Structure 1
């Protein structure tokens, strides 16, 4: 009798492990954006050029999306709106100068980006990103997004209600 119970228990654990690994993750899509498209994060050719805000306005950003900044001899700072307007920050929220910076949009709202190199922000190397309140599934990339470097990337997120449902179902079935 004990060996019969152990056989059921082993089957239960095997089935449970399989179902948890295949069903307890819900696929959510996020996008990865190359900031500025093929040009990257570079100082605009003319003063006060708004190419980055124009680029940002052609894209929809959701929580979980990733911005990729590619640049040479520059930096990326996330700052407050006041610091954005002044093109100066002594204590940025985020700083990177490695030439290939990924920044994950982790909340809805506005994000303010500037260059940390003197004079670059004033020439237009700055950008405001608006992240949407609700995380909506991405649609097919438009030609602007494709040219701008948006790439669809799968992301997984655990689903606790599914796990609890599975435990309850199989627990009742085998007990």
Structure 2
């Protein structure tokens, strides 16, 4: 009887531990500024904003903008050239939520003429859950913190729990 109760308590504790690892975040692009042409002397506004964040697979970014604007995800080359003729993704709803579902860099520009050249563009670097848990594995390897098997389980659970279920 004591073994069954102990097992039940252990499973309950593990469930709540792993549930807390599900940490997907929605980021508001530009915070209160939203997605708009930045002031002329601040053309790196969005890249500075994005570089201060830690994006992981499963996070989302929300673009809020006016009716005459849009957001596009484009290739690196189209980002560099401010070319809006071949987007991988396009939205002009005024409130766009983009799911970050792969690691690496994603490139965003405004599709409105002249906006990209005036600084309304951004590079988002998405790290993997494995990169995110690297610190936990390093801590375990140095003799402190989590055991290596626990770090591996955290990586797997963290990757799965951020997947959308719709």
TM-score bracket, normalised by the shorter chain, equals: 0.5 to 0.7
Secondary structure, counterpart of 1:30 in structure 2: coil
Distance 1:87 1:47, change over 3 A: farther
Question: Which sits farther off after the overlay, 68-77 or 85-94?
Answer: 85-94
Map of 1:60 onto structure 2 = 54
- For normalisation by structure 1, the TM-score amounts to 0.63
Contact 1:47 1:122 in 2 (8 A): no
Unaligned runs of 5+ in 1: 1-18, 138-154, 159-175
TM-score by length of 2: 0.66
Partner of 2:95: 100
Select which of 20, 39, 43 maps to 2:37.
43
> CA RMSD, aligned part only?
2.8
Aligned to 1:171: none
- Asked which structure has the greater RCO (Cα within 8 Å, sep 6+), the reply is 1
* Deviation of the 1:112 alpha carbon: 0.1
Q: What runs of 5+ residues in structure 2 fail to find an aligned partner?
A: 1-10, 134-158
Give the length in aligned residue pairs. 122
> Over residues 113-168 of structure 1, what are the superposed CA-to-partner deviations in whole Å (9 max), with x where a residue is unaligned?
0000000000000000000133637xxxxxxxxxxxxxxxxx9739xxxxxxxxxx
Structure showing the higher strand proportion among its residues: 1
Structure number with bigger Rg: 1
1:85 CA displacement = 0.6
Structure-1 residue corresponding to 2:121: 126
- After TM superposition, what 4+ stretches of structure 1 lie above 2 angstroms from structure 2? 133-137, 155-158
